[in-house]
Structure formats: C-alpha cells, structure tokens
Structure 1
Amino acid sequence: MNKFFALFVAAVVGLTGIARAADAVPVPEAMVRATSKEVMEVLKKESLPGNEKKLRDLIEAKILPSFDFTRITAQAVGKHWRDASPEQQAALVREFRTLLVRTYSTALTANKVQGIDVKPLKMGDADTDVIVKTEVANGGNQAFPIDYKLLKVSNNWKVYDVAVDGVSLVTNYRNSFNQTILKDGLDGLIKALSERNASAQAVKTTAK
C-alpha cells in the first residue's frame, strides 16, 4: 500500500464530523478534538478486521462529511479540471471518493492509532482558511505530524487537503493523475480509477 496513505489513514480518524466550538476554542480545532475521541472509542470497541460493512459505515458517517471532495478532486486533477465536462467532473469526484473510502477501510485495519495530540489553533474571527496541526502516535512507532487544511464554506468548515509529514494528499495524486491525463485524456483517468475500484471490490469479494 502507498506509504503516504498508510500514514494518512492512521491519522484521519482524528478529523471527522462537525463539532461545535467550546468556550473560545476555534471551531476547526474543536472539530478535531471533540470527534477524535468518539471515533477512537468506536475503533476500540468494534472488531474492524473482517467487518467491512461496519467499517465503511463508520467512514461514511464520521469521516467523509468533513471533506470537500469536489475541491480535493479539482486540485488533484489540476489545470485539466477546467477542461472536463460536468459529467466528467462528477465521474472523477465519484471514483476518487470511492478510491479513498476503500483505501481507508484497508488501512484502518492495518494501523493502530494510539493517540492524537491536537495543537492549539490561533485564528482571527474573519479567518476562513486555516491549518489545524496534529501529532499522531501510531502503534509504538515514532509520532508523525498531520496538517489539516480547512476552508469555511457556508458556515461549515471543510477539509480541502491533508499533509502527512509535509506531503500533501493533493500533490501526491496530482502528479500521477497528470501523467494519465496527458497519455489517455480525462476519460482515460476516469477509466483507470473505475478499473482500480472494481479490481479492489473483486479482490474483497473473492476473499470472502
């Protein structure tokens, strides 16, 4: 598995759902603190390996609502996004979202998150673009930093990029996406993502 995603998914459980700010704690920071505890408790109680449906339900309910997948996909596709038709854009978002969900469900069973240290966030009342910094303890290995980039959209805060040890999720995919688009076009990228998702599904079905 991509090492970047193994680390990313080990930490992403710390940023799920929308939480209300307590006292003077900025909403993005409160969002991380208030919900990381809830998800960690679920992960400790549930026997996730082999229970793919429950794991996917957890991801759908607790992780995905916090992410702006349209913005993330647009940034990963880069300059080619504006050349995509509405139908192509919708397909790209759908397939990329599915890819991430399957990556999460696989990596969550292989990584043990033991603690998430959320750093205090300093922001002004007018700020709409912030970075919440965290440090994740993972299965006895050396803790590593995760930076969540959030944008305020219609009074809600959404993640539009994540950096693990300084490596951006968007940048991590933009290079490979660009190579595929230059070779096979936007439809080629959609096809490649679709086939990758179908292959992953077939492997899981066969393994049952």
Structure 2
Amino acid sequence: MTEDLEAHARKMAKKAAAREKIMATKTEERGLVIVHTGKGKGKSSAAFGMIFRCIAQDMRCAVVQFIKGGMETGERRLIAAHFADLCAFHTMGEGFTWVTQDKARDMAMAAAGWETAKRLIRDPEIRMVLLDEINIALRYGYLDLDEVLAFLRAEKPPTTHVVLTGRNAAEALVEAADLVTEMTLVKHPFRSGVKAQPGVEF
C-alpha cells in the first residue's frame, strides 16, 4: 500500500511538472469570440455562467437576446434586480418565429438587436457581450452573416469577449471563432412529455 501511494505521488509530481511547463507557454491574453451551438441543451445556460463569472469579477458585461421574447426568465430577473449596474440586459426578440408568424417584424427586431449589440461591443469598458440565440437569427437570414463577421474582425475591442449562442452556427462563424462548443443531445425530458420548468429551462 505504501509503495502504491509513493508511486502515485511520483506520477502526480511528474504530471504537475509537465502541466506547469505547458502553462508557462500560455502568455497571451485577449478577447475571444466564443460560439455555443448544437442540438443539446445548455448553450445559453453555459453562456450565462460566463456572464455571472464576469459579474463576480466586477467586470462590466451585457446580454442581447435575439428571438427570445418577453417570457420572464430567472437569469434576467436576477440580473435586473441585483446586477444592473454591471450587466446591461436587452431582450430584443418577441418569441420564436412560429409564435410571431411575422417575418418582417422578426427581421426588424433582429436588426434592432444587432444595432444594440454593436453599441455594446464597441464600448471598451464592457468586457463580455452575450448575443443569445443570434445563431438562429443568422440561420433564418434575419441578419447578414458577412456583416456580423466583418464587424467582429474590425470593431471588437481587443480585450472584449463576445459569446454567440444558438443551434446551427454557420461554418464561417465556427471558423472565425476562438472557442467553439457543440452541445450534443443524448436525452431530453421534452421527448418524454415533460414541459420546460423553472430553474432548468428558465
């Protein structure tokens, strides 16, 4: 048993040294373009986790929600009630397209959301901007993908992080991003007749 513990300690010390050597080469710090996509649940949830990390670090941040409408959510209520000084929150959609059934209005709302997003991203005091469900707006053609990519390349301040969520992220966006996570659907209670619930979905 003692020999096993000593072997383990040697193995872990070797791993720690290798890890320290790798970490010493990671010196760059810059704002990232981050994409959360895929059919699985958790894209917005993970992005809001980063927003709350920014808040905990006293870093100014902002949220612009595309597509999503006026339904009350826990994250919006919490931020509005307690962290509005650190996090600007803009819900610019009126609901999913099958709810609104008005493409012209959806496109106008998406365009307004993008104008708000650009203003927030340009502000060098804001360290992270979450563009929630913008991938859906891009997929439906409510926003021009080339314009979004050009703006991020040319006008995003060097220390600002921008997070873009939603299914079916465009390949060009995935290529341009620094960090991409695809949520994979393995199992979902909705398929078993369970509705969206507070604390899980909103």
What's the TM-score once normalised by structure 2's chain length?
A: 0.28
**Which structure's relative contact order is higher, taking Cα pairs within 8 Å and 6+ residues apart?**
2
Higher helix fraction: Structure 1 or Structure 2? 1
What's the TM-score once normalised by structure 1's chain length?
A: 0.27
